[in-house]
Chain A
């Protein structure tokens, strides 16, 4: 069964430091991959997604992620953290592709990013 693992339920960085949030998936075929951000008591907002093509994907708010098939990873990075980046981040995958597409996403358990001044 497909699954998503986010390494580290809490990550703390200083303002201006590199942000790295880790996501690994288990699948025998390359999935479609997503990163979402959630602010307190709000819904989720799409940061970026990988479907096909270039493995380095750029998203909103300066975030990017790289799909590495050999490592089954899709880590999220941002060169310089801002206080407004403090939120919870979710990695998600779907394997329901093509004619069997149900659109279902499977989510990781989330990583809370803390940004210290």
Chain B
């Protein structure tokens, strides 16, 4: 079945370490997105990409980096510059010129 796979589901890292969250989709969707979810704050856009080798910053890009070398993959790196990285991270994708997302199941990152 087609879908979006985020891995791992739970991730623990020490403060000061970079960590990369994986997002892979086999839906042949053009656009991919990363959101951060914190209790009571809804979802906030980190980065998005509409085509391969191109991506744009969202509302809270500081301390994060992404790449889009393949249509299927959009990994997110949480760097040591992100001051409060503990959160639930959601990846989503959509068909270009369409509206509405398909979401992955999320990665819960805890930094200690």
The contact size tier of chain A is: 20 to 34
Q: Are A103 and B105 in contact, with the CB atoms below 8 A? A: no
Are A90 and B99 in contact, with the CB atoms below 8 A?
no
Docked Cα-Cα span, A34 to B98, in Å, equals 13
A60, chain B: closest CB distance, angstroms: 13
Contact of A51 among B99, B101, B104 (CB under 8 A): B99
- The answer to whether A42 and B105 touch across the interface, beta carbons within 8 angstroms, is yes
The reply to whether B103 and A45 form a contact with Cβ atoms under 8 Å apart is yes
CB atoms of A105 and B40 under 8 A apart:
no
Query: When the two chains form their complex, are residues A43 and B97 in contact, meaning their CB atoms are under 8 A apart?
Result: no
**By the criterion CB–CB under 8 Å, are A107 and B105 in contact?**
no
A41-B108, A43-B90, A49-B99 given; A104·B42 CB < 8 A:
no
Asked if A94 is an interface residue, CB under 8 A from chain B, the answer is yes
Q: How many residues of B are in contact with the other chain, CB < 8 A? A: 32
Contacts A43-B104, A43-B105, A102-B50 given: A108-B42 contact, CB under 8 Å?
yes
A46 to B9, CA, bound (A): 21
A104 touches B48 (CB 8 A): yes
Q: Which residues of A contact B50 (CB under 8 A)?
A: 102-103
B48 and A9 within 8 A (CB): no
Let me know if B74 is at the binding interface, CB within 8 A.
no
- The answer, yes or no, to whether B80 is at the interface (CB within 8 Å) is no
**The 5 A-B residue pairs with the shortest CB-CB distance in the complex, in nearest-first order:** A43-B103, A109-B42, A107-B43, A107-B42, A44-B103
Can you list 14 A-B pairs with a CB-CB distance of less than 8 A? A34-B100, A42-B105, A43-B90, A46-B102, A102-B31, A102-B48, A102-B50, A103-B94, A103-B101, A104-B33, A104-B48, A105-B100, A108-B42, A109-B42
Contacts from B to A (Cβ < 8 Å) = 4, 6, 9, 31, 33, 35, 40-45, 48, 50, 56, 58, 88, 90, 92, 94, 96-106, 108
Beyond A43-B105, A46-B100, A105-B101, 17 extra complex contacts between A and B, CB < 8 Å = A32-B99, A34-B99, A41-B108, A45-B103, A51-B99, A90-B42, A94-B99, A102-B31, A102-B50, A103-B94, A104-B33, A104-B48, A104-B58, A107-B43, A108-B42, A109-B40, A109-B41
